[in-house]
Structure 1
Amino acid sequence: MKTLENCYEFNFSKITFVERKIRITHPKTIITGASKTGKSYLIYDFLSNFKTKDYIYIDLKDPRNSLEEVKDNLALFLRQNQITVLVLENFSFEFELPYCDNIIISTSIPKSIRGFKNITVSALDFEEYLLHDNRHQNMLQSFNNFFKYGNLSEVINIEEHKKVQRLQEIIKLQVQNETQLEILKLLFENIDEKKSLYQLFTTLKNKIKISKDKFYETCKIFENNKTIYFVSKYNQEKANKKIYSYNHSFLNAISHNKKFKNEFTNMIFLELIDKYKNIYYLDNIDFYIKSKNIAIVGIPFFNTLLVNSALRKIYKIMDEYQIKELNIITISNDEKISHENFKINVIPFYEWALS
């Protein structure tokens, strides 16, 4: 039982944990989420409430750990040591779960089990990012780094010249082969674009040899583990979906082609995903939150004179869908626009994200 004996020696009581908006609150919990969003640290925080002798932590991706040994001996080991908390990291449900008072599972395979609560861990939102950012006291400086290098906690405090390299490494952690890497890069390159999977497949087919089924299957994997999001047009399921990444800065890590507006809009989307169940887009409107009757548009460098034509198109859609409020998210502009039919706010991202 070498694997189990070694896993039983872990002590998480001294790990520093910065508070997140999401926590493990149920004794039987299945955690999913994209790579490096903080799933493990939520587990460490949960384990810090118990004595070391009461839990066993098994990471099934650790090459030192034998899956067969865990499968054959786990139930007996739990009973012999009176363990009350079982953690299975990177578990793919290869064996039946033994009895234990508390079972915490992290997995890339979303699965519902009776008696278990499912939670999805997203990357840091801007408010959480500020709590993790120990280097910058200036809001503008923090925002600039958040925009440039993204929302993953481990990237925040590493040296600047190593940040992009680490982002590239994290991208590669999420794939099993070069084909999956090319698919993921293609999806990142098309954030905030309206593209069908067939259009993307056709593009990739001209670059590498790949079947349509394999392409669609891989995209579904990335969607299921929340690496990629597909946003539908409201009331038009057959319309092309807009594509978003769980970290807006991955585009900057894989390409020298700057798409400032796309990255900015992706960043806005990530502030919405944990707040609203249903997010849509409309013509000329980036995000439509029907439950709140709100339209959200990203215009990084807002100038009333320059965007009057765009605003008229937005107002027309708001009239059509009877939307009462428009939030225009900017880099730094802050103003009110008077309109007889709508409430219109022009707000800097950092103010909007913290409101």
Structure 2
Amino acid sequence: MEILLEDLYKTDINLEKFHFRKLFLEDLSYQINGISQSGKTKLVKNYLLGLKKSSYIYIDCRDLRIDVEELNKTLSIFCNKYKINTLVLDNYIEDIQIINVPQLIICSELHHKIDFLTSVKLYPLDYEEFLAYEHKYDSTALNHFFKLGGFPSMHKISNDERVVYIQKILRHALSAMELDILIFCTKMMAQKISPYSVYERLRHTKKISKDKLYKSFESLSEKGYIHQLQKVNHPKAIRKIYLCDISLKSALTIDKNFSKLFENMIYLELLKSDKECFYDDGIDFYLPQSDEVILGMPFADERTLFKKMEAIEAFLFTYQVKKVITITMSTEGSMSHPISRVEMIPFDIWAIGD
């Protein structure tokens, strides 16, 4: 095992052009969590390239040459011998023992309970990060975002290979049960579903255990492949399901529903901004900290917005909502309301406005 570690230690890190993310690494010890292809490895490698070559070692724990038992015996000795300041354990598994080094960075889909590590979550690209890959910032960029989604690697994949590429990623990263659940959730994007409803649907076509399905559903949520949005003031109510990236819609189903896709895209922007939000009947997103409601209405005009405001007026008065933001594809405007400031804002302006 020491021979392998020496080989890894001497190997130069190769990184193609790196587009900076909103997450920056400093000289702290980190636990970086995120789904497959969210950019964890590139983020870490870019950080390592700014360090002295002899001060770090990068280990991909999926390397088939690694014997975990032997690694646990030799890693600490090796790091002391070569005065390693920064140890990176990419695709970390819990069987590998944590050792004492000045800076430890582990990358994993799942969160591990290691108290001294600073935990950070890396999501696929948001719209502002996506623009770093684009040659021009106009309406074509937003259309491109709809086609590619937030996986950074998608910019290198030809149009005819993108669906199969995403499917391969998911087959490699997920169990068969998790993938079946994810495909069902893709068909139910931005709708209210429970683990039980998933079980009821899948049990008619597959021989499955309810307990195993519930655990797989929870695992998908913990890893971040699906996200659940709670109903305001009803923690036990059925939650709405959103996907980790909009590209999964076309990769896993032939169903078309642009309004749900648009809503999912808005949710992901809110998720990455760490803004607490909830849903309610007729309300896409309620942000209590800013007394704000956000509606996804891609093709709204003043007439349809007026009807929508009438339908949700009771909610606005009950929660004393100060602002209603309607996210559209291209329409801008505003309208008067007794208690709320109402605006229509195109997605590309709203997404980078903060």
Q: Which residue number corresponds to residue 78 of structure 1?
A: 79
Cα-to-partner distance string for 1:293-330 (whole Å, 9 max, x where unaligned): 11001011112223433221122211111111001001
Q: Which residue number corresponds to residue 24 of structure 1?
A: 25
| Residue pairs, 1:25-104, within 5 angstroms | 25-104=26-105
5+ long unaligned stretches in structure 2? none
Q: Which residue number corresponds to residue 163 of structure 1?
A: 162
> Hey, what's the Cα distance between the residues in 1 that align with 2:244 and 2:43?
18
Q: Which residue number corresponds to residue 153 of structure 2?
A: 154
| 8 Å CA contact retained: 1:10, 1:56 | no
Aligned residues: 352
| 8 Å CA contact retained: 1:228, 1:245 | yes
Q: Which residue number corresponds to residue 345 of structure 1?
A: 343
Bigger Cα displacement from structure 2, 325-334 vs 302-311: 302-311
Match of 1:20, SS state, is coil
Q: Which residue number corresponds to residue 112 of structure 1?
A: 113
Query: What is the CA distance between 1:13 and its match in structure 2?
Result: 6.8
Aligned match for 2:301, one of 285, 300, 303:
303
TM-score normalized by structure 2?
A: 0.95
Q: Which residue number corresponds to residue 144 of structure 1?
A: 143
Query: What is the CA distance between 1:87 and its match in structure 2?
Result: 0.4
Give 1:169's aligned amino acid.
Answer: K
Bigger Cα displacement from structure 2, 291-300 vs 107-116: 107-116
Bigger Cα displacement from structure 2, 23-32 vs 83-92: 23-32
| 8 Å CA contact retained: 1:60, 1:89 | yes
Query: What is the CA distance between 1:229 and its match in structure 2?
Result: 0.6
Give 2:180's aligned amino acid.
Answer: E
| 8 Å CA contact retained: 1:293, 1:325 | yes
Q: Which residue number corresponds to residue 328 of structure 2?
A: 330
Q: Which residue number corresponds to residue 184 of structure 1?
A: 182
Give 2:136's aligned amino acid.
Answer: Q
The 1:14/1:60 distance shift into structure 2, 3 A limit, reads: closer
Q: Which residue number corresponds to residue 276 of structure 1?
A: 274
Give 1:302's aligned amino acid.
Answer: A
> Hey, what's the Cα distance between the residues in 2 that align with 1:41 and 1:127?
18
> Hey, what's the Cα distance between the residues in 1 that align with 2:261 and 2:15?
37
Q: Which residue number corresponds to residue 212 of structure 2?
A: 214
| 8 Å CA contact retained: 2:275, 2:287 | no
| Residue pairs, 1:313-324, within 5 angstroms | 313-324=311-322
| 8 Å CA contact retained: 2:54, 2:84 | yes
Query: What is the CA distance between 1:14 and its match in structure 2?
Result: 5.5
Matched, 1:259 2:257: yes
> Hey, what's the Cα distance between the residues in 1 that align with 2:279 and 2:242?
12
Match of 1:273, SS state, is helix
> Hey, what's the Cα distance between the residues in 2 that align with 1:15 and 1:85?
22
| 8 Å CA contact retained: 2:166, 2:251 | yes
> Hey, what's the Cα distance between the residues in 1 that align with 2:16 and 2:307?
54
> Hey, what's the Cα distance between the residues in 2 that align with 1:332 and 1:268?
14
| 8 Å CA contact retained: 2:183, 2:253 | no
| 8 Å CA contact retained: 1:29, 1:118 | yes
Query: What is the CA distance between 1:265 and its match in structure 2?
Result: 0.4
Bigger Cα displacement from structure 2, 310-319 vs 233-242: 310-319
Cα-to-partner distance string for 1:237-290 (whole Å, 9 max, x where unaligned): 111100011101201111111011111100000101121342211111111111
Query: What is the CA distance between 1:141 and its match in structure 2?
Result: 1.0
> Hey, what's the Cα distance between the residues in 2 that align with 1:108 and 1:354?
27
> Hey, what's the Cα distance between the residues in 2 that align with 1:258 and 1:169?
22
| 8 Å CA contact retained: 2:227, 2:241 | yes
Match of 1:327, SS state, is strand
Q: Which residue number corresponds to residue 194 of structure 2?
A: 196
| Residue pairs, 1:221-260, within 5 angstroms | 221-260=219-258
| 8 Å CA contact retained: 2:15, 2:42 | no
Match of 1:128, SS state, is helix
> Hey, what's the Cα distance between the residues in 2 that align with 1:301 and 1:10?
53
Task: Report the RMSD for the aligned CA atoms in angstroms.
Answer: 1.6
Query: What is the CA distance between 1:138 and its match in structure 2?
Result: 4.6
The 1:67/1:343 distance shift into structure 2, 3 A limit, reads: same
> Hey, what's the Cα distance between the residues in 2 that align with 1:210 and 1:283?
32
TM-score normalized by structure 1?
A: 0.95
Cα-to-partner distance string for 1:13-34 (whole Å, 9 max, x where unaligned): 7543211101222521111111
| 8 Å CA contact retained: 1:31, 1:106 | yes
Match of 2:235, SS state, is coil
| 8 Å CA contact retained: 1:57, 1:86 | yes
Q: Which residue number corresponds to residue 289 of structure 1?
A: 287
Give 1:79's aligned amino acid.
Answer: N
Give 1:74's aligned amino acid.
Answer: L
Give 1:255's aligned amino acid.
Answer: T
Match of 2:312, SS state, is helix
| 8 Å CA contact retained: 1:188, 1:250 | yes
> Hey, what's the Cα distance between the residues in 2 that align with 1:125 and 1:19?
12
